[in-house]
Amino acid sequence: MIPARNLEIAVLVLGMLVLLFEAFVERIDKRTLAFAAIGALTAVLIGTWFLEPGPALESATGFWSFYTADPLSIFFKRFALLTTIVVLVMMIDYAPVLRSSAGATTQSGLGEFFALPIFTCAGLMYIVSAIDFVMIFVSIELVTISFYVLVSFTRRNPTTLEAGVKYLVLSALSTAFLVYGITWIFGVTGETNLQRITTAFANPEIELGGALFGAVLVLVGLGFKIAAVPFQIWVPDVYQGAPTPVTAYLSVGSKAAGFVVLVRVLRPFMMLPQMERLLVLIALLTVIYGNLAALPQSNLKRLLAYSSIAHAGYLLIGVACLAGSAVTFYLVAYLLMTLLSFAVLIVVAQRTGEQISDFDGLAKRSPFLAFAMLIAMVSLAGVPFTAGFFGKFFIFYAAIAQRQTVLVVAGVVTVACGFYYYLKVVRAMYWQVPTSEEKIPVNALSRATMSALIVATIWLGIYPWPILEALKR
Amino acid sequence: MVTLGDYLIVSGVLFAIGFAGVMLRRNLIIIFMSLELMLNAANLSLVAFSRFHVQPNGLPNYNAQVFVFFIITVAAAEVAVGLAIIVALFRARQTTNVEDIASLKF
């Protein structure tokens, strides 16, 4: 049996080892480091099934009042590890682009490109376990600062740098709001631990005004991380400008961690009726904005950015209806289909480009890649027999149970709207004439990863119970 | 006698100045400076809350003061990375004015 905290320590040590190999070992193919990291992270992933249970939340003291190893956190630790493994596979595919933009044939800096996601992964694992505002703040910053470097990694490329600066300024702004909000919650309750804050709210003498002000500021800060309207302005530019594997990581890892924190932080505040109304409003704006703004896009990466805003909206509907397991299932489905679409995009974009028109006739050139993209797109749209369908189904089911008619109507209408822009990609791949007949090569590791993601997407679309069961334990 | 309210007003004003700086100024370095000001506003109010939240044994609530150290450390890390990115941008574009950085558009 392994104590839960050793998982993060193992991941951090792995990250440092990769950095040391990058710095001191010169005559190796740097991609070996990525393969080694994938192997080590898989070992840590297996380790998550052999954990010692931590003490209960109520009786926790010392370290355990900052950190919890409850089923939710262990589930999302696996989620973070899996995301990182897939992202590393994508990064190996992406390495040639990185080298050509560095303007040299050497492999300088490639090791750092593989080390940073590992540190980010440790941060994500800490976030999902954090039950104290201090821990939440520090682990969110560990993730965010790693992402600053990752987003602007190809620093010879002005577009990437522009994305990096935009991410830097807006993320730092959201951090300032988060910290100021935490300050006010501390000021009212005198506590930073979420459990003790909940207890403090039971006291009728508490000044709810100050706490509500703090909670709204925290919501602003977290809204930036999960890309909720009106804090979504950074998303399209950063997603388009960042290196594609980083975009995939940002849209899955960062968003999932944001939602886990949101669910944990909101628990003490959900008894206030104002908070619930605010969440419903934000969810409504996010689904409508994300889906409408995605309609006219012609760049696939930008389209996926708007689609990620739309999906944040559906997830927020789940959060507003207090449907924890529906949100978790949606996040898992979102992980599968988003990573699948980005994996195909990376391979195709290196040969043609990122525009939807660059996918013309892909089915004739590379049937496998076109099929993978097809599955990703129909799942994102929410066609039955894919994971995306059950994700939306559980969310809307929870909303109907809570009698949130407006949210259900807005959700269903915008899903229909989503069909248009997702199927635009499918139309380009299957009904347009290809501009060249040349095949697009896929290496064995990415082909295996894509196949696994396709199988998982369809499997969860037919038989979703394993995920729901995993949460109950 | 300086009360808790006075500290909170100063901290609120600092936060507002910082936010206005981020929104209105056009130079990246100034924007970054304003962001640090916002973090320090939070630090000030945390220390004030800590000093005025006296525990039954007469000591201030030290949780907030420890949190302030974390904020200072994280802010330093953020500046280290942020300035590096801004310098790289300056080398590529010869400008730190945000209005010149608009190649990614709808």
Domain harbouring B16, CATH code: 1.10.287.3510
- Show the DSSP H helices in A242-323 as ranges: 244-249, 255-266, 273-294, 300-320
A341: CB partners within 8 A, 6+ apart: A304, A373, A376, A377, A380
pLDDT at A397 over 90: yes
Q: What is the predicted pLDDT for the residue at B65?
A: 92
Beta carbons within 10 angstroms of residue A413's beta carbon: 13
Give A193's strand partners: A132
Which helix or strand (DSSP H or E) is residue A369 part of? Answer: helix A367-381
Of A184, A159, A289, nearest to B45 (Cα)?
A184
Highest mean pLDDT among A59-63, A267-271, A410-414: A410-414
A296: CB partners within 8 A, 6+ apart: none
pLDDT at A445 over 60: yes
Query: Does B105 reside within a domain?
Result: no
Q: Is A137 on the interface with B (CB under 8 A)?
A: yes
pLDDT tens-digit readout, A54-74: 777 777 778 888 898 888 899
Q: Among A50-54, A453-457, B66-70, which is the least confidently predicted range?
A: A50-54
Q: What is the predicted pLDDT for the residue at A106?
A: 56
Query: Does B106 reside within a domain?
Result: no
A vs B: CB pairs below 8 A:
118
Asked if the Cβ–Cβ distance from A180 to B15 is below 8 Å, we say yes
Task: Evaluate whether B48 touches B11 at the Cβ level (below 8 Å).
Answer: yes
Within 8 A of A232 by CB-CB distance, chain B residues are: none
3-state secondary structure of A2: strand
Distance CA A143, CA A258 (A): 11
Distance from CA of A155 to the nearest CA of B (A): 7
Q: What is the predicted pLDDT for the residue at A472?
A: 66
pLDDT at A390 over 70: yes
Q: Please count the structural domains in chain B.
A: 1
List the single residue in B35, B53, B104 with the smallest CB-CB distance to A173: B35
Q: What is the predicted pLDDT for the residue at B75?
A: 94
Within 8 A of B102 by CB-CB distance, chain A residues are: 162
pLDDT at A241 over 80: yes
Please calculate the CA angle A295-A296-A297 and round it to the nearest 5 degrees.
100
Q: Mutating which of B61, B71, B96 best tests the A interface, going by the most A Cβ atoms within 10 A?
A: B71
Beta carbons within 10 angstroms of residue B48's beta carbon: 22
Task: Evaluate whether A288 touches A230 at the Cβ level (below 8 Å).
Answer: no
Distance CA A397, CA A387 (A): 15
Task: Evaluate whether A78 touches A121 at the Cβ level (below 8 Å).
Answer: no
- The domain locations on chain A are 1-269, 271-473
Q: What is the predicted pLDDT for the residue at A207?
A: 82
Distance CA B55, CA A98 (A): 55
Beta carbons within 10 angstroms of residue A267's beta carbon: 15
Distance CA B103, CA B64 (A): 42
Of A234, A279, A216, A215, nearest to A144 (Cα)?
A234
Instruction: Report if pTM > 0.90.
Output: yes
Residue of B nearest to A183 (CA): B46
Distance from CA of A145 to the nearest CA of B (A): 6
pLDDT at A358 over 70: yes
Distance from CA of A91 to the nearest CA of B (A): 21
Which amino acid is it at A465?
A: W
Residue of A nearest to B5 (CA): A187
pLDDT tens-digit readout, A284-299: 999 999 999 999 999 9
Distances (CA, A) of A90 to A47, A277, A348, A446: 24, 40, 12, 7
pLDDT tens-digit readout, B51-83: 988 888 888 888 899 999 999 999 999 999 999
3-state secondary structure of A31: helix
Within 8 A of B63 by CB-CB distance, chain A residues are: 134, 186, 191-192
Q: Is A161 on the interface with B (CB under 8 A)?
A: yes
List the single residue in B39, B67, B85 with the smallest CB-CB distance to A168: B85
Distance from CA of B42 to the nearest CA of A (A): 5
Angle between helices A273-294 and A405-431 (to 10 degrees): 20
Q: Is A192 on the interface with B (CB under 8 A)?
A: yes
Q: Is A112 on the interface with B (CB under 8 A)?
A: no
Q: Is B82 on the interface with A (CB under 8 A)?
A: yes
Q: Is B14 on the interface with A (CB under 8 A)?
A: no
DSSP B27: B
Within 8 A of B106 by CB-CB distance, chain A residues are: 236
Structure tokens at A282: 């934000």
Give A355's strand partners: A299
Q: What is the predicted pLDDT for the residue at A452?
A: 95
Mean pLDDT within A20-26: 86
Within 8 A of A156 by CB-CB distance, chain B residues are: 92
Q: What is the predicted pLDDT for the residue at A393?
A: 93
Distance CA A301, CA A308 (A): 10
**For residues A56 and A321, which has the higher predicted lDDT (pLDDT)?**
A321
Of chain A, the percentage scoring pLDDT greater than 90 comes to 63
Average pLDDT value over all residues in chain A: 90
Distances (CA, A) of A419 to A114, A313, A407, A459: 35, 16, 19, 21
Distance from CA of B101 to the nearest CA of A (A): 6
3-state secondary structure of A151: helix
A393: CB partners within 8 A, 6+ apart: none
Task: Evaluate whether A359 touches A352 at the Cβ level (below 8 Å).
Answer: yes
Distance CA A373, CA A369 (A): 6
Residue of A nearest to B19 (CA): A173
Q: Is A427 on the interface with B (CB under 8 A)?
A: no
Mean pLDDT within A356-372: 90
Asked if the Cβ–Cβ distance from B92 to A155 is below 8 Å, we say yes
Beta carbons within 10 angstroms of residue B17's beta carbon: 14
Of A89, A124, A91, A96, nearest to A452 (Cα)?
A89
Q: What is the predicted pLDDT for the residue at B105?
A: 65
Beta carbons within 10 angstroms of residue A288's beta carbon: 18
Residue matched to tokens 């974009």:
A349
Of chain A, the percentage scoring pLDDT greater than 70 comes to 98
Task: Evaluate whether B68 touches B40 at the Cβ level (below 8 Å).
Answer: no
pLDDT at A380 over 70: yes
The total number of residues written for chain A in this structure: 473
Burial class (CB in 10 A: 0-12, 13-18, 19+), A441: exposed
Distance CA A185, CA A209 (A): 10
pLDDT tens-digit readout, B12-54: 999 999 999 999 999 999 999 999 999 999 999 999 999 988 8
